[in-house]
Amino acid sequence: MVNVAIIGASGYTGGELLRILFHHPEAEVTVATSREYKGKPVHYIHFNLRGLYRGLIFTDVNLDLIAKKSDVVFLSVPHGASLKYVPKLLEVGLKVIDLSADFRLKNPEDYVKWYGYEHPYPDLLSKAVYGMPEIHRDELRGANLIASPGCNATAALLSLIPLVKFNVIDLHKIVIDVKVGSSEGGSKPTLSSHHPEREGSIRPYSTEGHRHVAEVEQELRYVSGKDVKASLTPHAVSSIRGALATSYTWALKDVGEVDLIRMFTKVYAKEPFVRIVHKSPPGHPNPKYVVGSNYADVGFSIEARLSLIKSFAAIDNLVKGAAGQAVQAFNIALGFKETLGLELIPIKPV
């Protein structure tokens, strides 16, 4: 049994980690931190967990306690906060899975460009493994520091990997549109994320370049071995959960429907959590049909007169886009069956 600590366990992603790990046969959550709710039971804020985690109380972050009571630490904290914890946790021999952006990018200069700070641990950037199993499964085995991907980047990458892998599109002309539910904004409302402001709206944001595109370009360069240029614009929609990426790419040669079916099948046929949706109901990927699960539904269409390929990926932004993908990487790193604790069937209707 692996003992697990969750730093930042009171937010939406922390709650999903608790929900998923409760059913994991090889993991036990021994520490759950929250500065705001320390001293309270976890169900005080995660009402859906009432009666499940008996005796588990939120604590403040105490690295000595975490080192004593855990083997693996999940960090579910805001960008920038992981920097003060990760080096110390690694130093005492713990495995770390960081769900923030603090160790996702390999080039330290990208942190200045996209996040506005100079990264203090460039040596750790080279050691961190980007936690997307569909790209880095082999590197994840035995990894000590895993940088879990962002939800927008996850959906975008899953829609694009087959097209990039088979070199059929212009790699300098990739346009990505991501529609994402309000839970992406976290559990603390802002003026733009507060429900009365968001309900009924469809609002683009970060239109001059969303920072998750840095992950997308980095990982597509890894897949293709070539330079990649992409634009990503997220749109806030009034649904609570789910993200849908629609990627627009231009074909370099004649590509037909059968060709794309073969490409997507070759890349994803053995992936335990990627399902290809093409024409048969519901027609195209829809986040509604993956809610609560670690599944990603992918698909495509061709607008032949423009040599335009549209590829799609639908995920639950809190599961495959966050907690579920982190647990999937945890399973691989620890040598467990990859699907342990994640055999959650999407719920319908929602």
pLDDT in tens, 55-68: 999 999 999 999 99
Confidence of residue 186 (pLDDT cuts 50, 70, 90): low
User: Do residues 182 and 138 make contact, with C-beta atoms less than 8 angstroms apart?
Assistant: no
> Once rounded to an integer, what is the mean pLDDT over residues 316-321?
97
Give CA–CA dist 239/253, Å, rounded: 38
Give CA–CA dist 247/155, Å, rounded: 10
Tell me which residue of 10, 2, 57 sits closest to 31, measured CA to CA.
57
| Antiparallel, parallel or unpaired: β 129-130 and 95-98 | unpaired
pLDDT tens digit sequence for 210-255? 899 999 999 999 999 999 999 999 998 888 799 999 999 999 999 9
pLDDT above 60 (res 192): no
Confidence of residue 203 (pLDDT cuts 50, 70, 90): confident
Give pLDDT, residue 196: 67
Neighbours of 205 (CB within 10 A): 11
The chain-wide mean pLDDT, for the chain, equals 94
Architecture of domain 152-317: 2-Layer Sandwich (3.30)
Tell me which residue of 218, 226, 303, 227 sits closest to 260, measured CA to CA.
303
pLDDT tens digit sequence for 244-297? 999 999 999 999 999 999 999 999 999 999 999 998 888 899 999 999 999 999
Percent of the chain with pLDDT over 70: 95
CATH number for the domain whose boundaries are 2-127: 3.40.50.720
Give pLDDT, residue 182: 65
- Per-position b or e across 211-236, b if 16+ CB within 10 A of its CB: bbbbbbbbbbeebbeeebebbbbbeb
CATH 3.40.50.720 boundaries in the chain: 2-127
CA dist 186 → 1, 293, 322, 342 (Å): 31, 19, 12, 22
Q: Could you give the residue numbers annotated as active site?
A: 151
Amino acid at 226: K
CA dist 264 → 18, 115, 161, 279, 309 (Å): 33, 33, 9, 14, 13
pLDDT tens digit sequence for 83-133? 999 999 999 999 999 999 999 999 999 999 999 999 999 999 999 999 999
Where do runs of H (alpha helix) occur along 11-168? 12-22, 63-69, 86-91, 108-115, 122-127, 133-140, 151-165
CATH 3.30.360.10 boundaries in the chain: 152-317
